[in-house]
Chains A and B, each alone.
Chain A
Amino acid sequence: MTNTEVLIQELVQKHGRNRNALMPVLQGVVACEKFLSESAMIAVARELDLSAADVYGTASFYTFLDTKPRGKNIVRVCKTISCHMQGKEEIIKAIENHLKVKVGETSHDNKFTLLTANCLGWCHKGPVMLINDEVFPSLTPDKAIAIIEEFSKKTN
């Protein structure tokens, strides 16, 4: 059995084998692997007795349930109006230059995927970004780079 299959079995044991468990199970896979591979979705479908198409249908609806390969850390910079007014563009440019990627791409060392997100709910403390589940409000370009660097050191 692959690591993913073991993980999915653990998740199913925790959340149950019915369809209501689908979101928590998919979220659990993404938390560990950053995205849902085809084989992961097929394994989830088998465990929950759903069709793989059903699982893909649900997964593909949600922004945070990526079905494309992602780096080890996912950076999401908020791009909605308040953060726009507070300079999200400079933050995105700084990260793009630092990681040598464009929005939507993964760095060559596979450590980071840079994405934008709709309102993250920190309009009073923008600009803001999420790295994985962690939140970093009141950013400046320098601060954003320093945070990225710290994550880079922590990631093998």
Chain B
Amino acid sequence: MEQKPLKKIDIIFGWDDNCTPIQVVEKSVKKTPESIILDMIDSGLKGRGGAGFPTGLKWKFARNEEADAKYVVCNADEGEPGTFKDREILDRVPEKIFAGMTICAFVVGALEGYIYVRGEYNFMLKTLQQKIDIFNQQLHDLKIDFHIYLRSGSGAYVCGEESALFESMEGKRGEPRNKPPYPTVSGYNGKPTVINNVETLVYTSEICRMGPEQFKALGTHDSRGSKVFSVSGDTPIAGIYELELGMPLKDFVDEFGDGDTKAIQVGGASGHCVPRKKFNDTIIGFEGIPTGGSMMIFNSSRSMYNVLHDYLEFFTEESCGQCTPCRIGCQQLLKGIEAVKKGERPPTYLNDLKRLTATMKIAAKCGLGQSVANPFTSIVDNFREEIIY
């Protein structure tokens, strides 16, 4: 499999005085929407929120819909444990997000855009609104018919799921909808909507600035470009790093570990736990283990039972309760590992619980319930003795 050595990149937070975000917009709206879509598809950009859907296709689908209104939504409901990159982007280069939204709106034919920021980041709303006001004024001066609004969440992890986010924006409980229809057909207010992660939107504006070639040159065949990683846990240098995709996990550990790394949780609570013995042949990218950016490092002093227990507690509380597999499943998994730990259930009960996660994977309505199997099986399979004893 194609690999790239670990390399630090500076695209997201970089600043080009000769081509500011609003100038990128000015330049882009002179092109045709079709050519921008082709650039996006050519760049190979996939969604940076975790699911990894090709951005160019998403824009194309929304463009092809006939509707009296369309929307662009920026998903800034960053709630995955271990992720804090979107806040940094919102704080340092928000204009690039606005530019990405505007270009997207131009491509699909939307007049309104919304940024949905998680309630935990309310402290930044005031500054962000001021910056949005300035940008809206610049758009007005350029006679570009697009307006950005700011919305905030109220502390529900599940609202990061795109259809739950729409429900929330519509003043309802943040319960995910059935799919299809997908947001590009029926999203906010039942209208075609492009919803992209904060980081994805920044890359779209950067691809418009520098052309798809430069972006494409980074990463591997299946994982083009770079990505912002949030590094936390047992590391001396926790923080935010933009890295080229496609690196082996071993390189990552060499750079960020504390010398005693036992395991890395790639992709947050809903991601996969990779033990030391697999560092060499695990690639960070869509062909290996994809991540929304969360990289949590655990050293040998950590109990993986506690880690799994924390995750299951998190899911039990954040499950919206709408569908039974997820609501009951999360509760039973938590109770289950507690019972095995106490000796009330035999170790083989873990196999039953694994079957339960397999059921949740196919029967749960949204990504939350479906992905509980990831941390559960990867931790139980690799650290079984720590769960039992």
Contact = CB atoms under 8 A, between A and B. Distances in A.
Nearest to B265: A81
Given A63-B156, A122-B84, A19 B121 contact: no
A55 to B, nearest CB: 9
Contacts of B107: none
B320 A61 contact: yes
B45 interface: no
A85 B303 CA distance: 10
Interface residues of B, number: 50
Given A64-B154, A82-B296, A123 B120 contact: no
Contacts of A126: 232
Interface string A93-107: 000000000000000
Contacts of A122: 84
A64 B156 CA distance: 8
Interface in A3-38: 19-24, 26-27, 30
A119 B122 contact: no
Interface stretch (B136-144, B163-171, B218-226, B344-352): B163-171
A146 B73 CA distance: 40
B306 interface: yes
Given A81-B310, A123-B84, A124-B239, A65 B154 contact: yes
A80 B171 contact: no
B87 A123 contact: no
Interface string B29-65: 0000000000000000000000000000000000000
Contacts of B306: 84
A129 B231 CA distance: 19
A52 B102 CA distance: 38
Nearest to B306: A84
B238 interface: yes
B79 A84 contact: no
Contacts of B211: none
A145 interface: no
A81 B82 contact: yes
A21 B172 CA distance: 10
Contact of A64 (B82, B119, B307, B310): B119
B152 interface: yes
A118 B173 contact: no
Nearest to B172: A58
B169 A121 contact: no
- What DSSP secondary structure best describes chain B's contact surface? mixed
Interface string B228-251: 001111100011100000000000
A12 B123 CA distance: 22
A130 interface: yes
A121 B87 contact: yes
Contact of B84 (A84, A124, A130): A124
A124 B314 contact: no
Residue among B119, B120, B174, B310 with max Cβ neighbours from chain A (10 Å): B120
Interface string B78-107: 111111100100000000000000000000
Interface in B293-317: 294, 296, 302, 306-307, 310-311, 314, 317
Given A61-B174, A124-B239, A82 B155 contact: no
Residue among A21, A23, A81 with max Cβ neighbours from chain B (10 Å): A81
B376 interface: no
B248 to A, nearest CB: 23
Contacts of B311: 81
A35 to B, nearest CB: 12
Given A123-B232, A124-B238, A62 B154 contact: yes
Interface in A97-156: 117-126, 130, 133-135
B156 A61 contact: yes
B157 interface: yes
Given A82-B81, A84-B310, A85-B234, A62 B156 contact: yes
Interface of A: 19-24, 26-27, 30, 57-58, 61-65, 80-82, 84-85, 117-126, 130, 133-135
17 contacts: A20-B170, A22-B172, A23-B152, A23-B169, A24-B152, A58-B171, A82-B82, A82-B233, A84-B310, A85-B233, A117-B155, A118-B81, A119-B80, A121-B118, A123-B232, A124-B84, A130-B120
Interface of B: 78-84, 87, 118-123, 151-157, 168-175, 189, 230-234, 238-240, 269, 294, 296, 302, 306-307, 310-311, 314, 317-318, 320
Given A65-B154, A119-B80, A124-B84, 5 more contacts: A27-B154, A57-B173, A64-B154, A82-B81, A119-B314
